[in-house]
Amino acid sequence: MNILIIGDVFSKLGRKILENNINKIKEEKHINFVIINGENISHGKGINEGHYKWLMTHGANVVTLGNHTYQNKSILNIMENTNNLVRPCNYPESSPGTGYCTMNYNGIKITVFQVIGELFMKNPENTTSFFKATDELLNKVKSDIYICDFHGEATSEKVAYGLYNDGKIQVIYGTHTHVPTNDLRILPKGTAYISDVGMTGPLNGVIGVKAQIIFDRMINEKTHFFDPEDEGEAQLNGIVVEINEKTYKVEKVEQIQIFEK
């Protein structure tokens, strides 16, 4: 089976390039299962109910979130009533929503979950270690295939996490930095790994935000609110992972990068 994973969809340009290319990718790569990070899809500030439903109509099987999970309050209306909208599993137990979901594909159990990093991240109090939370989940949830979205800033955390869980989880991919890394590979014990799949959205903003806003913040110490770059060129970043349906082992990984004016 072929699994398509698409990095942080950011605002208007992210939605546009996704809509323009998702069906073509699915057809050309013979995709069976789609995972999309949607925590920035609504104007770069979380996800709302309408955009969640929009992702469903465009073929997403699972939508992962991140540090902006609760930024758009309208999503709380459906978080408790859907099983495929995944927030970090190492958030406090009292947090709304779920940290994982298990889907059935042709009799194969696929569990998708998310952890959030600690370095340079503003997390809620009582957030559990991502190592501990993962150990607990793997012991509790029995599945044929495990896929983890590691949402974090620090590549050191992600690399350590990948090596620690090599052979336990079929796919570990990073999100959040919005910059694709060049370390896609199959680790020694069989886990497909990349530190960050990159973003799907503006190409010439600063990780999605209008560049002038960032210039003013960095140079002139101004405090403008972030505003997405919704005009110009766009990029779509992701990976395709081929997994053997009998052995559940990763056979091939491929990076996807599309640019569009």
Could you tell me the CA-to-CA distances from 233 to 28, 51, 81, 230 in Å, in that order?
23, 21, 36, 9
Domains by residue range for the chain, with CATH: 2-205+233-260 (3.60.21.10)
Average pLDDT over residues 226-230: 92
Residues in the chain: 261
Q: Considering 51, 68, 151, 176, which one is annotated as catalytic?
A: 68
Residue 185 clears pLDDT 90, i.e. is over it: yes
Q: Give residue 247's pLDDT band: very low, low, confident or very high (50, 70, 90).
A: very high
Q: CA torsion 152→211→6→148, rounded to 10°?
A: 0
- In this prediction, residue 254 carries a pLDDT of 98
- In this prediction, residue 79 carries a pLDDT of 92
Burial class (CB in 10 A: 0-12, 13-18, 19+), 11: buried
- In this prediction, residue 118 carries a pLDDT of 98
How does pLDDT run across 205-218, given as a tens digit for each residue? 999 999 999 999 99
Q: Is there a catalytic annotation at residue 68? A: yes
CA separation for the pair 222, 83 (Å, rounded): 41
Instruction: Tell me the two tokens of residue 48.
Output: 């709302």
Q: Which residues pair with 151 in a beta bridge?
A: 116, 175
Q: Is the pTM of this model over 0.85?
A: yes
Contact 241, 2 (CB under 8 A): yes
